[in-house]
A and B are shown apart, each in its own frame.
Chain A
């Protein structure tokens, strides 16, 4: 069921998430505060004269944990208000629910990084275009995989534990690709896991 109707469903669901955040103002401010605080701590924790590579590694650590914070909040409305029941009964393709949510998560990540990257450049040794491109590619992978795991964690009892346990191991290749500046590797990761997450979401939201 991929077509204009599918795109409109995805658009409506993503718009809904952005509207919810615009009104609740819970996720993005938390992400911004966290990433700026983390970069500030790293700035003072690192000894003077630390290499650019070491600082870059800490930037990636900060971005991954900021993303995790956002992902933890991604399905709060669905969990607390039981909205998965209403959404999965709708006749739209269930992958549209995943894609709409992933787009909203991607928007939050980009918004957080619009502040975080200049802050990193100011605290440490500047940023090159390759790092910015790597962060952009990493965002796609984080949003696709993280949204799938976020939905899985919602169904579990120990959801606060489950999401980091599922997401962080899957984020290791993103950090490897990001720190190394391997753009092709990040693009490949995005493509593979976007397809897998898109196909798997149907089974994640089907209760057995």
Chain B
């Protein structure tokens, strides 16, 4: 699924990371840890295909198979959850879009507020919608940057369930950076710790 050799990234004179070798098979789970500013987010953007490495070789799946959640939930705040997911469902050419969108809104507890503007939501609710968007097209590779960010206990347990289901149910591959590694430690098949 992901193969990297000597992966490096620089911004001008500043080295973000260098010399990363990685083999992540389909169904694998890469846990990325490290303090703020250590390069986790940049690595995840490179592995999601959103940024280019400055050195090294990298093999990634095609972009329609990638789901990415960054520090922001990546949804339009002046649209409703239904409008957001319908838009992305359209762009991803999802068949039976309405059913898939409805199922995800139910699952993440957003069905009752599906017509309300996202700007009125708490950050945790926005994060749930962001997770719905990521799962909408059933990607093979999921790259999640601090997915537990802003989630309350209920939301975090919901995300735990998503990890369990996909890891043990369907062959999904995960790259997850988190400051709460204890939540997903048991699922990790590969680990990368930034100093």
Complex CA gap A77/B88 in Å reads 15
- Chain A residues 45 to 63 lying within 8 A of chain B, measured CB to CB, are none
**CB-CB under 8 A for A20 and B91, given A89-B66, A91-B63, A207-B50:** no
Which chain A residue shows the least CB distance to B66? Answer: A89
- A82: interface (CB < 8 Å): yes
- A202: interface (CB < 8 Å): no
- B77: interface (CB < 8 Å): yes
Q: How far is the CB of A142 from chain B (nearest CB, A)?
A: 24
- B14: interface (CB < 8 Å): no
Q: How far is the CB of A166 from chain B (nearest CB, A)?
A: 22
Q: Tally inter-chain residue pairs, CB-CB below 8 A.
A: 77
Let me know if A81 and B76 touch, CB within 8 A.
yes
Q: Which of B62, B74, B88 contacts A82 (CB 8 A)?
A: B74
Could you give 11 example pairs across A and B, Cβ below 8 Å? A23-B117, A77-B78, A81-B75, A82-B71, A85-B48, A85-B70, A86-B75, A88-B50, A88-B63, A89-B66, A91-B62
Let me know if B51 and A207 touch, CB within 8 A.
yes
Contact with B along A52-94 (1 / 0, CB 8 A): 0000000000000000000000000100011101111111100
Q: Most chain-A Cβ atoms within 10 A of its Cβ — which of B51, B52, B91, B93? A: B91
**CB-CB under 8 A for A207 and B90, given A19-B83, A77-B78, A81-B72:** no
Let me know if A23 and B68 touch, CB within 8 A.
no
Contacts A16-B87, A91-B63 supplied; 12 other A-B pairs, CB < 8 Å: A9-B90, A13-B91, A20-B79, A23-B117, A77-B78, A86-B75, A86-B88, A86-B133, A88-B50, A89-B49, A206-B52, A207-B50
Which chain B residue shows the least CB distance to A82? Answer: B72
Q: Which of A8, A13, A19, A90 contacts B92 (CB 8 A)?
A: A90
Complex CA gap A91/B88 in Å reads 10
Interface size band for A: 20 to 34
Contacts of A82 in B (CB 8 A): 70-72, 74
Contacts of A13 in B (CB 8 A): 87, 91
- Chain A residues 73 to 118 lying within 8 A of chain B, measured CB to CB, are 77, 81-83, 85-92
Let me know if B64 and A91 touch, CB within 8 A.
yes
**CB-CB under 8 A for A9 and B50, given A82-B74, A85-B68:** no
A residues apposed to B, CB below 8 Å:
5, 8-9, 12-13, 16, 19-20, 23-24, 77, 81-83, 85-92, 206-208
Contacts of A24 in B (CB 8 A): 78
Q: Which of A9, A19, A85 contacts B79 (CB 8 A)?
A: A19
Let me know if B87 and A20 touch, CB within 8 A.
no
Contacts of A207 in B (CB 8 A): 45, 50-52
Q: How far is the CB of A139 from chain B (nearest CB, A)?
A: 25
**CB-CB under 8 A for A9 and B68, given A86-B133, A91-B63, A208-B52:** no
Contact with A along B5-32 (1 / 0, CB 8 A): 0000000000000000000000000000
Let me know if B91 and A90 touch, CB within 8 A.
yes
Let me know if B91 and A91 touch, CB within 8 A.
yes
Q: How far is the CB of B83 from chain A (nearest CB, A)?
A: 7
Contacts of A89 in B (CB 8 A): 48-50, 63, 66-68
